Chain A
Amino acid sequence: MADPMLLINDLHKNFGGLIVTDGVTLHIGQGELHAVIGPNGAGKTTLINQISGLIAPTAGTINLNGVDITGMPADQRAALGLARSFQITSVLPGFSALENVALAVQAHSGTSYRFFGRADRDQAINEAANSALAEVGLAERGQIVAAHLSHGEKRALELAIALAMGPKLLLLDEPMAGAGREESERIIDVLRQLKGRFAMLLVEHDMNAVFALADRISVLTYGRILASGAPDAVRTDPQVVAAYLGEEME
């Protein structure tokens, strides 16, 4: 059996006296889609920020594909194959959709300390960027400035940026947040097609999406993993029903 793609061991994070991550241990296998659900304020985004390197944990370790990345800066984690999307859309607003994705391709193909020659005429980069855009349904929107895309399109663009990085592990922080019904369905379709190609950690409030996509689910409350297991087991876990799913699953 291969190493797990992500191995989080006894992770703690305190902001002063506030405990946000309280001994989280979690592993995600190769190609697994692992969902993390939990009420608002449970520490889901903080967990993702620690995995992607934007926040340093107080204690504990994070392993990516056998490499200890606990103290590594975000850009080096990205170079190891860690990609993420943000809950609050985070793209380069003044760049075209194509250029947003092209930068992600560029980051992983050769040096960027090149000062001559136009980057936007690099065919290999543009082709890779266009195919990532096509995968999320933005093939026709490449030339649009990101700030002018609709909200749903920006969500899709985030996904395209992550795909273009050729990830080994993709962290998805509420990829459907704020998207309409139709847009959510489209994103679920895209994720379903991506499933198995690389490991994913999905934080999402849309339970339809979570139960449709996840191989395993962990429930996070007050910074702690309450339960972890196959969707059916989690759905019927009495603790989970009491703490979180209760009213929603009626």
Chain B
Amino acid sequence: MGRTTVAASSAMPARQTNRVEALPAAIFLVLALIPAAALIGPESYVLGLFTRVMIFAIAALTLDFICGYGGLVSFGHAAFVGIGAYAAGILGAHGITDMLVTLPAALLVSAIFAYLTGTVCLRTKSVYFIMITLAFGQMAYFIAGSLAPYGGDDGLTVRLRSTLFGFQVLQNDRALYYVVLLSLLGSYLLCRSVVYSRFGRVFRGARENSMRMATIGFDVFRYQRVGYVISGTIGGLSGFLLANAAEFVSPAYMSWQRSGELIIMVLFGGLGTLHGAIIGAAAYLLIEEVLGGFTEQWKLIFGPLLVIVVLFARGGLLGLAGSIRGRLNRG
């Protein structure tokens, strides 16, 4: 019984797509209205906070893509965030800030890293995959820490946000907010499209039963590697945006704790839904912000909260909302 239930729930995203449309739309509407709402409060604080939320939402989204749909649990996903950030930071240190150069560079380096590490990681399965992605993530972390010309462990200040044709288009926090929002929307729509495309069907099938997929005629490894590169490249985008928002890059972006946080965001929001990752990232960072205001030890409170969500709402916050709605409808 347990097994069929799990299988049924994992099939849901594929069948329910037309019905849950309203929620992602609502999420993006709220995000679009936040700058207006921020006018009545501490504007730059609110804008900064939600810019961060959306940047990590992009990273969590790409993790949900490989994890929730491909069954590939990466414990080194923060590496892509860091690589995207360092690409912008290092080029900036040499005076190159035009995003027509820096953005493609950030995406390309992330894609190459995903391709190379994916070629190795994807030879393994389950817990070995987790460990080897963790190993590559830590490798990136230590390499960044050893880049003495670029600040080493202390990180690197980004003096000038990315420019476009020499114009400082991101200097305004509000402009940066909307650019990040559009990036999140674009990443979400792209991942969604891929999930339901012919490619996505193969990618999802490989999670279900990779031996079956091989005997049907699919070279599972190659499809998974393409999925991994898509995920890593968009992950690099989030890093590029993070460097601009924080005006700082640091090896800490790539630490395994960061990778763990991304996994928590995805689980917290609801695995295998894409928009759940956005909710999860928002919930995690906002809870961190609020609880962190009260105490240094906010994780003491957050930890049990996560346990409760994972135990009692296996679909994350989205699943919880769904089951509450189901109960209300019934009685």
Give A residues with C-beta under 8 Å from B. 52-54, 73-76, 78-79, 83-84, 86, 90-96, 99, 102-104, 106-108, 111-120, 122, 145-148, 161, 165
Asked if B215 and A103 make an inter-chain contact with CB atoms under 8 angstroms apart, the answer reads no
Per-position binary interface string of chain B over residues 264-296, scored 1 when its CB falls under 8 Å from any chain A CB and 0 otherwise:
000000000000000000000000000000000
* A117 interface neighbour in B8, B197, B212, Cβ under 8 Å: B197
Asked if B201 and A145 make an inter-chain contact with CB atoms under 8 angstroms apart, the answer reads no
**Apart from the given pairs A92-B209, A94-B7, A119-B196, 12 other A-B contacts in the complex at a CB distance below 8 Å:** A52-B215, A78-B215, A94-B10, A96-B11, A107-B218, A111-B198, A113-B199, A115-B194, A116-B193, A117-B198, A122-B198, A147-B8
In whole Å, how far is B231's beta carbon from the nearest beta carbon of chain A?
Answer: 13
Per-position binary interface string of chain B over residues 197-227, scored 1 when its CB falls under 8 Å from any chain A CB and 0 otherwise:
1111110110011011111111110010010
A94, A107, A112, A148 interface centre (most CB from chain B within 10 Å): A94
Chain B residues within an 8 Å CB radius of A108: 217
Complex: A113 Cα to B201 Cα, angstroms: 10
Complex: A8 Cα to B185 Cα, angstroms: 55
Per-position binary interface string of chain B over residues 12-32, scored 1 when its CB falls under 8 Å from any chain A CB and 0 otherwise:
001100000000000000000
B7, B208, B211, B216 interface centre (most CB from chain A within 10 Å): B216
Asked if B209 and A116 make an inter-chain contact with CB atoms under 8 angstroms apart, the answer reads no
Main SS at interface, chain B: helix
Chain A residues within an 8 Å CB radius of B211: 54, 90
In whole Å, how far is A31's beta carbon from the nearest beta carbon of chain B?
Answer: 22
Give the number of residues in B that approach A within 8 Å (Cβ atoms): 34
Chain A residues within an 8 Å CB radius of B94: none
Complex: A43 Cα to B202 Cα, angstroms: 32
Q: Is B330 an interface residue (CB 8 A)?
A: no
In whole Å, how far is B278's beta carbon from the nearest beta carbon of chain A?
Answer: 21
Asked if A96 and B15 make an inter-chain contact with CB atoms under 8 angstroms apart, the answer reads yes
* A93 interface neighbour in B209, B213, B226, B230, Cβ under 8 Å: B209
* 6 nearest CB pairs, A to B: A78-B217, A147-B7, A92-B208, A107-B217, A94-B11, A93-B7
Asked if B212 and A90 make an inter-chain contact with CB atoms under 8 angstroms apart, the answer reads yes
Residue of A nearest to B200 (CB): A119
Residue of A nearest to B201 (CB): A119
Chain A residues within an 8 Å CB radius of B123: none
Complex: A199 Cα to B97 Cα, angstroms: 64
Complex: A99 Cα to B7 Cα, angstroms: 14
Complex: A152 Cα to B217 Cα, angstroms: 24
Q: Is B3 an interface residue (CB 8 A)?
A: yes
Q: Is B172 an interface residue (CB 8 A)?
A: no
Q: Is B4 an interface residue (CB 8 A)?
A: yes
Complex: A76 Cα to B214 Cα, angstroms: 9
B4, B11, B14, B230 interface centre (most CB from chain A within 10 Å): B11
In whole Å, how far is A92's beta carbon from the nearest beta carbon of chain B?
Answer: 4
Give me 28 A-to-B residue pairs in the complex whose CB atoms sit less than 8 angstroms apart, sorted by A's number: A54-B214, A54-B215, A73-B219, A75-B215, A75-B217, A75-B219, A78-B216, A78-B217, A84-B215, A92-B209, A93-B4, A94-B11, A94-B208, A95-B205, A95-B208, A96-B11, A99-B201, A103-B218, A106-B202, A112-B218, A114-B197, A115-B194, A115-B200, A115-B230, A118-B196, A119-B198, A120-B196, A147-B7
Asked if B218 and A75 make an inter-chain contact with CB atoms under 8 angstroms apart, the answer reads yes
Asked if A99 and B219 make an inter-chain contact with CB atoms under 8 angstroms apart, the answer reads no
Chain A residues within an 8 Å CB radius of B198: 106, 111-114, 117, 119, 122
Q: How many A-B residue pairs have CB under 8 A?
A: 125
Chain B residues within an 8 Å CB radius of A52: 215
Give B residues with C-beta under 8 Å from A. 3-4, 7-8, 10-11, 14-15, 193-194, 196-202, 204-205, 208-209, 211-220, 223, 226, 230
Chain A residues within an 8 Å CB radius of B219: 73, 75-76
Asked if A103 and B197 make an inter-chain contact with CB atoms under 8 angstroms apart, the answer reads no
In whole Å, how far is A210's beta carbon from the nearest beta carbon of chain B?
Answer: 23
Complex: A74 Cα to B220 Cα, angstroms: 10
Contacts A94-B7, A165-B216 given: A112-B208 contact, CB under 8 Å?
A: no
Asked if A103 and B202 make an inter-chain contact with CB atoms under 8 angstroms apart, the answer reads yes
Asked if A91 and B209 make an inter-chain contact with CB atoms under 8 angstroms apart, the answer reads yes
In whole Å, how far is A129's beta carbon from the nearest beta carbon of chain B?
Answer: 12
In whole Å, how far is A203's beta carbon from the nearest beta carbon of chain B?
Answer: 15
Asked if B196 and A112 make an inter-chain contact with CB atoms under 8 angstroms apart, the answer reads no
In whole Å, how far is A151's beta carbon from the nearest beta carbon of chain B?
Answer: 12
Asked if B218 and A145 make an inter-chain contact with CB atoms under 8 angstroms apart, the answer reads no
Residue of A nearest to B208 (CB): A92
* A75 interface neighbour in B7, B204, B214, Cβ under 8 Å: B214
Contacts A54-B215, A73-B219 given: A145-B11 contact, CB under 8 Å?
A: yes
Complex: A115 Cα to B11 Cα, angstroms: 20
Contacts A75-B214, A91-B209 given: A118-B11 contact, CB under 8 Å?
A: no
Asked if B196 and A148 make an inter-chain contact with CB atoms under 8 angstroms apart, the answer reads no
Asked if B223 and A112 make an inter-chain contact with CB atoms under 8 angstroms apart, the answer reads yes
Chain B residues within an 8 Å CB radius of A102: 201
* A145 interface neighbour in B8, B197, B202, Cβ under 8 Å: B8
In whole Å, how far is B93's beta carbon from the nearest beta carbon of chain A?
Answer: 35
In whole Å, how far is B326's beta carbon from the nearest beta carbon of chain A?
Answer: 18
